[in-house]
Each structure stands twice: as C-alpha cells, then as structure tokens.
A and B are shown apart, each in its own frame.
Chain A
C-alpha cells in the first residue's frame, strides 16, 4: 500500500517510461556514394545546430575531388585543425611522390596514410556513428565517391586545469585532483599505475547526454563477477541526461533508500589508484571530478588518503581520533539530552551544581534547546556553503557569535546546548567523507528524539536499530560493516588503526581474495646489528 503510494508520488507507472529510449533502436544508416547526397543528409541532421560547420573544399588532384569537413567549431582547436587537417590536405598534395595518384577510390587511404598528421583518426561508414563522433569533437571528412568518412580528433575542448582537490585536501600527499574531463582523469590514474593490467572500459549513458562512463580496474586482482555486475548495472540505466556521477551513483547502488553512502566518491586520483590496487572498481564519469569507487565499506568512509602517507603511528592515532569524533558527532547531543533529562545521577555533584545554577531560569527543556540549536547550526552550515566565500564569513560571524552569544545572554538557551552543538559540529568536520558526514547529521536528529522519549534506553535501542540496518547493507555484494561484522581479523589492520606499510601484506578479503598477497614479507626495517662492524 505504502509502496504504491510512494510510486504514485514519484510518478512511476508501468505504462509510462522513457519513450525516447523505445523509439531509438539504433539502426545503421550507411553513407552514400555521392557527396551531395551525404551533405544534404547531414545538413538535415545538423539543421539549426549553429555550432556545426560544413567546410567544403577540393582535393588537388586529377580530376579534382570534392570533399567536405564537418565539425563543431566550439569543440576543436582551430589552429591545430587547420594545420593538421585542411592545411595538410590542401597544401601537401603537391609533395606526394609522383607515382602516387589520388583517385576517388583510394582518396581515403592516401589521406589517412600520407597526408593527415593528426594522431587519432577513425573511420566510419555509419551516419549515426558519424554524428556521435562529430558531437564528441571530431573533425569529419567526407569525400565524394567514398563510402567511408574519416574522423580526426584534434582536441581543444576547454577544460579546467588540474587543481588541488577542494573537498579532500591533504597536508602530505599529492595535490592533483580530478577535473571534469574524463580523459584527463584516466591519465591521472594511469600515471600512478603504469601497467597493462589496468583496464579502462568505456560505456555510454544517457539518451541525450551520451555521457561517457569509464570503468577502471586491475585485471587479475578484481573479481570478474564484480566487473560484470558493475557493467550490467551501468548499462541498465536508461535516462535522458546523466548529469555527473550523482545520478549514476543512485541508480547503481544496492539499496534504493539507503541513508548510508553505499558508493564512495572521491576527487583524489591517489585514492582511486589505491582502491584499484585493493581490487575495487573505479567508475569515472565524464563532466564531473567526482569518481565513484565500488564496493564501499563503512570503514572506508573514515579513512583519509592522508593516513597512507603519514607515519603509521601518527596515522593510527589520527584515525582513532576520527572514530572518537564520529561517535561524538553522532551521539553527544543525544546522550546529553538523555543524561540531563533521565539519568542526572551520572553527573558528578560539582558539575551538577554548575548545571543547575545555569539552568534554573531557562524557559525551554533541554531537548528543545538542543534540537533548536542543532537545527540552527544546520541552517548556518547550509547558508555558509551556498554563499560566496566573502559573504560566508559574515554569516559565521552573525550566526555564530552574535546569535549564539545573544541567545545565551538573553537567557533563552543555556550554555550546555551551545557547547554541545559546537563540539558536535567540530567533531563532524573531522569525518573525511562528506556523504558519511551528512548521514551522521541525519541520524543525530533521530537519536536526539529517541533520547527525548526514552533516555539512554532510547538511544541504545536506536543504535541497535541502526546496527541491524547497517549489518544488512551491502555494497556490490560486500557486507557494509566488514571487516568488523562479519569479522575478518586479517583485515582489521586498516580499520581502527593503520598497520605499518611493511605489514600490509594482504589485500582486503572481500575484494582482493583473487590475488591476496600485496608484497613480500619481512620487508620491515631492521636495526643494524651492533656486533658487526
């Protein structure tokens, strides 16, 4: 019942569905022999596409052959194009050896092998494919009397330069981050894994957007079933426009309504490379710097790439701090409410005295104060994110200092909720994964409410509920809470603490069981023996 209601609200129904998808069964549309006919056909196709240019020219030979270059002038580098394509064809025909004669039948072959100087050339005889190539930024050359067309890629698409990843900055570690162009992103990964075992497979998603999706994995380490699963899930997507990795993430996740992020996204190529080496699969989506990594476990949301660059003792320390922060961010407001309203006896006498003297004249009960302040903080945070950076600061000053201070001094809210909310906020910033941070924020409100209703009992029952939920989650078949539940002792080396690199001998069991060994044993540094000299 609820389900059908839900479906109605969301606009599902069996009869509807994507009409475009059904109509467009890709039938081949061969190029014809005559240039005029081809040009007419193409002009009809690209009608009212102001960015598509038809450049007609003639190849110098006996008899002259007419040809046309079709390209999107917004997507190519005109300098390179005019030099390597038109320049080559129009000027260099004279420098051909004498015995080479261009005729209609061999024009394509000679152009390809002797004249055009672009690195990447494709041939096609299908108009649909032709269309795709042109829209991807290729320069297509159609020659009279020839059934195939040549596509030269000269690049020149404007893109952002490789920049420091804004969402995941590090102190120690590489500072390059993914950009929007998927080719650059693949190059960033390839730079780190120079092996033929790193495979890159391209898929296309979106009827209109034709977004390129690249699946990267290391053959031999990754489970074949996992790749198959990723591919089937991605090719199942039928959508008009696939905008970045967000929609794809939601459509290939294991659970339709999971609060926890079941797919990790990152801006850092080093993180992706590391994940690939563990037997995971990266999904690069064109036009977004956020690359998806599957499968994901809960623990990997608390791991930062920094951990792998710092000395393992520091990294372990920082990571355990992060777990503490995670718990504070999740639980502190709820536990405060529970203790203050149900279990006052836990509070030591002296502290209780301070609290009572502070709370004597406050109008609201503690749970209302905490809820309101939490809500206020969330609004403040959201306002700070959306505003330009310069105004953002004044938001934090007005919000944090003025309102926070004023509410306390006016006697609306006690000190404790403000301290608690501030602590919670700071702790929640210590969670490296933004998605996981959001989950924690949502759960925090639920926990505050259950603490209001039943104190610590309510908090604990809610936590058990969350635990049951978490234990049931899977990300591409891998239990979300592994390696803690189910317990895999060997994989605990990279959870609450990070083992030294020379002890990270095996890959995680769920993803890397195919080739478990990562390095030779006994590589740990040893003290030089004192006796020998």
Chain B
C-alpha cells in the first residue's frame, strides 16, 4: 500500500462530505419523517451533528496520540496484540458491512426505479467492478476523483433541491415539535449512525498532510453535511408532506419527480440518479480501499490484487444472496445498522481513548504490550 500519499485539507473535507452524504441524501428524509414527522429536519440536524462532532473529537484525540498510525495499528498498541487483531478484524467487518449495505441500498434503489428488469447481480457486479478498479488505483486517484466530481455532485443535488422549492409549502413543515422531544430523538438515531461514518478518519489520519487541521476540516465537512441534509429533509417534507415522505422509500427521488418547470423541464429524477452514482461509487471505492488497507495492516497481506478480488467476490456474494429483499434491507438499515454502526463509530474509539487517558493518569513503570 502506498503510504506516501497525502491528502490535503480541502480534499479531506470534500471526501468526507461525499462519503457521508451519498447515502444520506436520498434516504434520510424517509427515516427521519417516520419518527419525527414534521420536525424531521430537526431530527436530521441537531443530534446527528452532535454525534458526528463527538466522533470527530474522539477520533482526533486518538489520532493525535498516534499520528503516524491507523486504528488498525494503534488498536494493537492500546489493547494488546491479540485483542488488537480482533479489533482490526472487527473494523474490517464494520467496513465490509457498510460497503455491502451501500451497494445493496443502491442496487435495490436502481431495481425499484430505473432498471427493473436488469438482474441485481449484474448491477452489483458493475458497481463493484468500478469500485475495485478505483481502489486498485489507490487513494491518490480516489481523492482526485473526489475533487473532480465534487462540483458536479454538489451542484446537481443543490439544483434539484432548489428546483424542488417551486412546490415548497412552508405549512407542511408545521407544527414544530408537536409530540415533544422523544420522536425527534428517536428519529435522529438513524442519521446519527450515518453522520458517524466520518469514523473513517481513524484510518485516513496518518495519510493527511496537515494533521493539525483535521479537526477544522472535519468540522467544516460536518457543518456542510448538516446544512445540506437539513435543507434536503426540509425541502422534501415541504414538498411532499411528512406522511408521503415517510411512505416513500426514496423521498428525494419522488420529490425530484414532482419538479415541473414549463413543459420542457420535468421528470428530473434520472438526472438526480447521475449525481447520486458519483457519490455512491466514490463511497464504495473508498471503502474497498480502506478494507484492503485493513487486510494489509492487520494480516500483512501484501498482494493488493488478491485482496481486492477476494473482497469483490465476497461483497457480491453477500450482497446478492444473504441480505433478503428490499424491505428486509429497510429494516436492517433502520434497526440493525444504527446500534452496530454506533458501536464502531463512537463506542470503541471512546473506549480506546478512555484507556489511554487512564494509562496516562496511572503510568505503568514498563511499557507493556498489554
């Protein structure tokens, strides 16, 4: 693995933005509106942002202790070699699960909307193929691609959301907090677990050229994500109303469908798809790369081609055969993923940080390996 590659601050912010929003933007209105109804935009912003910031803070503190190492490497130093291996494997699994879920979300979405007759395996195969190639090209290529598509991605979604404003009615966003705080908190669990995906910083940390600016750039990315998602949710609900939003699987898609400007600009949802693909491809590519890096650092696998091939086949197999149908996927995303993700995003890093803090308070005479 090339370790020399350094990501610059702007690149990092762009990368995190696309990484997090590419799954959020389409689904989050539905997940939040189910619980929080009209106040979904609150559910998608305040608490998830806090969660994301906590994650960022913990990761940053952890990373500053081990500025040249990834979580795969310093995990072993903190909890010992044996547990560290386990930790590494757990994180690889976490990344794999995230990757497969993204792939499945996307391929289900395609099957639902534009490619009903195309076999899902073929769709999965195409995306995994592109992602594997990108991961094979390395991190430098991925970050550069992010820079290239960032404008297209952001501009595309922003245009769609802005055009959606033509059907926007403020009344649909009222009343605010009708049923108190609880629905909002419940509604923010799913988006929180997605905001927390910036935990990948724990792996990217040593690859960033100015480690001191990570917190700043991470925060910029988080704020941008929050603004973007809040606007996204608010506009979607303002256009569709909370009932419709929660009943659609992909509300933003349906929102884009309702856009109609004159007789020529209509049915823009396929264009939305284009922008979304860029994000999803970047996300799976980066995940594939990180998984490959994990295999290298945990098990010492040097042959990138073999690892990438194995990961691709594994993902295809699990994605196609093991996850059931689209509604089961929906349940997985709503019920299973949040607690699972949060453990890896905040739980384990916070635990590791606590160990370090405790050790620093009661330093042992010898630096034991655990």
Contacts and interface: CB of A to CB of B under 8 A. Distances in A.
Interface of A: 339, 342-343, 345-346, 348-350, 453-458, 460-461, 464-465, 467-469, 471-472, 479, 481, 484-487
A473 to B, nearest CB: 9
Contact of B148 (A342, A343, A460, A467): A467
A458 B118 CA distance: 11
Contacts of B263: 348-350
B61 interface: no
Contacts of B267: 345-346
The 9 closest A-B pairs by CB, nearest first: A485-B144, A471-B144, A485-B148, A460-B277, A468-B134, A471-B141, A485-B147, A472-B137, A343-B270
A454 B134 contact: no
Given A456-B273, A460-B273, A469-B133, 15 more contacts: A346-B268, A346-B270, A346-B271, A348-B263, A348-B264, A457-B110, A457-B123, A461-B130, A465-B130, A467-B145, A468-B142, A472-B138, A485-B145, A487-B11, A487-B147
A455 B114 contact: yes
Contact of B126 (A339, A345, A349, A461): A461
Interface string B258-291: 0000011011101101100110010001000000
B115 A468 contact: no
Interface residues of B, number: 40
Interface in B161-203: none
A468 B270 contact: no
B130 A464 contact: yes
Nearest to B257: A345
Contacts of A343: 114, 270
B264 to A, nearest CB: 5
Contacts of B264: 348
Contacts of B10: 487
6 contacts: A342-B115, A454-B126, A457-B110, A461-B127, A465-B133, A486-B144
B56 to A, nearest CB: 23
A172 to B, nearest CB: 32
B149 interface: yes
Given A457-B277, A458-B126, A348 B266 contact: yes
Contact of B285 (A348, A454, A468): A468
A173 to B, nearest CB: 31
A350 to B, nearest CB: 7
Contacts of A469: 133, 137
The residue in A343, A461, A465 that gathers the most chain B C-beta atoms within 10 A of its C-beta is A461
A463 to B, nearest CB: 8
Contacts of B141: 468, 471-472
Nearest to B266: A348
A461 B273 CA distance: 11
Interface of B: 8, 10-11, 110, 114-115, 118, 122-123, 126-127, 129-130, 133-134, 137-138, 140-149, 263-264, 266-268, 270-271, 273-274, 277-278, 281, 285
A468 B289 CA distance: 13
A346 B273 CA distance: 12
Contacts of A487: 10-11, 147
B57 to A, nearest CB: 28
B105 to A, nearest CB: 14
Contacts of B271: 346
Contacts of A484: 147-148
A486 B14 CA distance: 12
B322 to A, nearest CB: 23
Contact of B147 (A339, A465, A486): A486
B112 to A, nearest CB: 13
Contacts of A460: 273-274, 277-278
A460 B278 CA distance: 7
A346 B257 CA distance: 10
A468 B274 contact: no
Given A346-B270, A348-B263, A457-B115, A464 B137 contact: no
Contacts of A458: 126
A485 B134 CA distance: 15
A484 B144 CA distance: 8
A346 B270 CA distance: 7
Contacts of B134: 464-465, 468
Nearest to B110: A457
Contacts of A342: 114-115
B123 A454 contact: yes
Given A468-B134, A485-B144, A456 B281 contact: no
Contact of A468 (B122, B123, B137, B266): B137
Contacts of A465: 129-130, 133-134
Contacts of B270: 339, 343, 345-346, 456
Contacts of B114: 342-343, 455-457
Contact of B145 (A345, A348, A455, A468): A468
A198 B108 CA distance: 61
A460 B126 CA distance: 11
Nearest to B281: A464
A453 B129 CA distance: 15
A479 B270 CA distance: 32
B306 to A, nearest CB: 14
B63 to A, nearest CB: 23
A349 B148 CA distance: 34
B111 to A, nearest CB: 11
A467 B149 contact: yes
From A339, A469, A485, residue with most partner B Cβ within 10 Å: A485
A294 to B, nearest CB: 20
